[in-house]
Amino acid sequence: MMNKRVKIKDLLTWAPESQELVVMGWVRTFRNNQFIALNDGSTNINLQVVAELGKFDDVLLKRITTSASLKIKGHLVASTGKGQQMELKAVEIEILGDSDAEKYPLQPKKHSLEFLREIAHLRFRTNTFGSVFRVRHSLAYAIHTFFHEQGFVYLHTPIITASDAEGAGEMFRVTTLPFDNPPRNEDGTINFKEDFFGKSTNLTVSGQLEGELGATAFGEIYTFGPTFRAENSNTTRHLAEFWMIEPEMAFYDLEDNMNLAESFIKYIIRFALDHNRADLEFLDQRLADEEKALPQDKRSEMGLIQKLEFVLNNDFERITYTEAIDILLQSPAYKKKKFQYEVKWGIDMQSEHERYLVEKHFKKPVIVRNYPKDIKAFYMRQNDDGKTVAAMDILAPGIGEIVGGSQREERLDKLESRMNDMHISTEELHWYLDTRRYGTVPHAGFGLGFERMVQFVTGMTNIRDVIAFPRTPKSAEF
């Protein structure tokens, strides 16, 4: 039986008493034809395996190269060397898979993140990405745990959809029609009635509209799945394929929505700190080392773990959009013309504005509410002032917007009027409007970009480094 093995992460909690055991993993380094640094992916910490001189065949030893995979039986003993408390004295060594050390791209040295993106199929084997993706796993688990404990129903919303929740128009089309000669109507437009679904369909940009259907039946639901934006943005903040968490709650107003979002963020951060402390300590040190090369004014004021604990221990600042604009207009950055984008009431705040509020002014996460209706989606509840909607965004240090949400417009007449103003077909979304026709209730929801959350918790500065296989303009490797 292959899997009577001990994972290195578990083994490191043992007291070494010459126990006989089996470990399996990949070679990180092999020194002096005797000392093997073995790693199995469960932790960044390598296990030192001692292959006693003269005990093993030279042919076997020559095959112990960087990234070769091994099965080793041995005895766990206290180490007399520096750098480890225990080591495994090998009794049997079996090569499970050879590796040509001269051709293997990941030599035992520091590699740039840019280089590692080019070999994304191998970058998981580095300490940095080992930590990032173990943290990502914990955050995903914590998300499901949080909502399960709150009594939410996990709803799987469609990936292929005929609706555009955001009204953005930047969607990937799904079709089985031939590209070179699609069927056309008399006016020359494509005849989608002959397509697989009989209508124009796309990859989803959000599961929100379908999520609202679930919320008006179950009370509280959440979605957690992939979403897609055909946005030609080659930035450190954007992906064409990313994951979203979108809870929708009946009988919630905007304040309830903000309270849930803040509790949710704090819960999953606490979970990562409790379950991935070693990985976060490694990433904390990595970030500190990386920032040593930056000018003092560009460095983070807090270390990674310090920042996460600060978020847990402080209430998020809550301000209105109007107050946010006033703060920006009165800021030294605005007066010294340091903002690239203009500041005035009615703008859709850019990342530089959001980060100023969070990092320079309040120095903690900020929830901005009551945005101008002209820059927000049709489904957001209109406020009595006639100018704003009951929307809210949560802004985080280093990233900017991390959560976007709103109280939804539950009044049928207001919603239909808004859709007509924005030229959104009430006929195509008749199923959505039915939730307002048959027992409408105040309800709210938000969306959390999972990758941005992973960025925030791990301290990684490029969103392409927190998803396994990033999809970006002109890039769809693997």
The CATH number of the domain where 444 resides is what?
3.30.930.10
Domain boundary among 72, 106, 140: 106
Averaged pLDDT score across all residues of the chain: 94
Q: pLDDT category, 169, cuts 50, 70, 90? A: low
Let me know whether 430 and 283 are in one domain: yes
pLDDT at 279 over 90: yes
pLDDT at 1 over 70: no
pLDDT at 196 over 90: yes
The CATH number covering residue 24 comes to 2.40.50.140
The CA angle 311-317-318, to the nearest 5 degrees, is 140
Let me know whether 157 and 75 are in one domain: no
> What string of DSSP letters covers 31-58?
ETTTEEEEE-SS-SPPEEEE--TTTS-H
Spatial neighbors of 440 by CB under 8 A, at least 6 apart, are 216, 410, 411, 412
Give pLDDT, residue 253.
98
Total number of domains constituting the chain = 2
Let me know whether 226 and 351 are in one domain: yes
Q: pLDDT category, 235, cuts 50, 70, 90? A: confident
| Region of 363 on the Ramachandran plot (φ > 0 left; ψ -120 to 50 alpha; else beta) | left
Residue 474 lies in a domain: no
Stretch 338-349: mean pLDDT: 96
Let me know whether 441 and 362 are in one domain: yes
Stretch 219-245: mean pLDDT: 91
How much is the CA Rg of the chain, to the nearest whole Å? 27
Give pLDDT, residue 167.
55
Q: Looking at mean pLDDT, say which of 40-54, 99-113, 232-246 comes out highest.
A: 40-54
pLDDT at 441 over 80: yes
pLDDT at 165 over 80: no
Q: Which of 227, 231, 259 has its CA nearest to residue 241? A: 227
Residue 79 lies in a domain: yes
Let me know whether 156 and 92 are in one domain: no
Residue type present at position 7: K
Stretch 257-275: mean pLDDT: 98
> Which of 102-111, 136-145, 303-312 bottoms out in mean pLDDT, i.e. has the lowest?
102-111
Q: Which of 239, 235, 209 has its CA nearest to residue 226? A: 239
Stretch 302-328: mean pLDDT: 95
Let me know whether 281 and 238 are in one domain: yes
Structure tokens at 86: 């225990």
Task: State how far the alpha carbon of 291 is from the alpha carbons of 304, 305, 310, 359, in Å.
Answer: 12, 15, 20, 16
pLDDT at 293 over 90: no
Let me know whether 377 and 309 are in one domain: yes
Let me know whether 424 and 396 are in one domain: yes
Per the CB < 8 A criterion, the answer to whether 472 and 234 are in contact is: yes
Higher pLDDT, residue 475 or 25: 25
Q: Directed axis angle between helix 412-421 and helix 430-437, to 10°?
A: 150
Give pLDDT, residue 298.
75
Stretch 146-158: mean pLDDT: 98
Burial track 134-166 (b if 16+ CB lie within 10 A, e otherwise):
bbbebbbebbeebbeeeebeebebeeebebbbb
Residue 115 lies in a domain: no
Stretch 268-294: mean pLDDT: 94
Stretch 203-210: mean pLDDT: 94
Residue 245 lies in a domain: yes
Give pLDDT, residue 397.
86
Let me know whether 280 and 355 are in one domain: yes
Q: Is the pTM of this model over 0.85?
A: yes
Structure tokens at 143: 């998300």
Domain boundary among 76, 106, 136: 106
Q: pLDDT category, 82, cuts 50, 70, 90? A: confident
Residue type present at position 307: K
Residue 290 lies in a domain: yes
Half-sphere exposure of 316 (CA within 13 A, CB side): 25
pLDDT at 152 over 70: yes
Residue 188 lies in a domain: no
Let me know whether 313 and 374 are in one domain: yes
Let me know whether 419 and 313 are in one domain: yes
Q: pLDDT category, 474, cuts 50, 70, 90? A: confident
The partner residues of 29 in beta bridges, in order of sequence, read: 37
Task: State how far the alpha carbon of 107 is from the alpha carbons of 18, 22, 24, 63, 396, in Å.
Answer: 33, 26, 20, 16, 36
Structural domain harbouring 58: 8-106
Give pLDDT, residue 272.
98
Let me know whether 71 and 217 are in one domain: no
pLDDT at 266 over 60: yes
Higher pLDDT, residue 301 or 406: 406
Residue 71 lies in a domain: yes
Taken in order 452, 458, 464, 466, the sign of the CA dihedral is negative
Domain boundary among 77, 106, 135: 106
Give pLDDT, residue 300.
80
Residue 118 lies in a domain: no
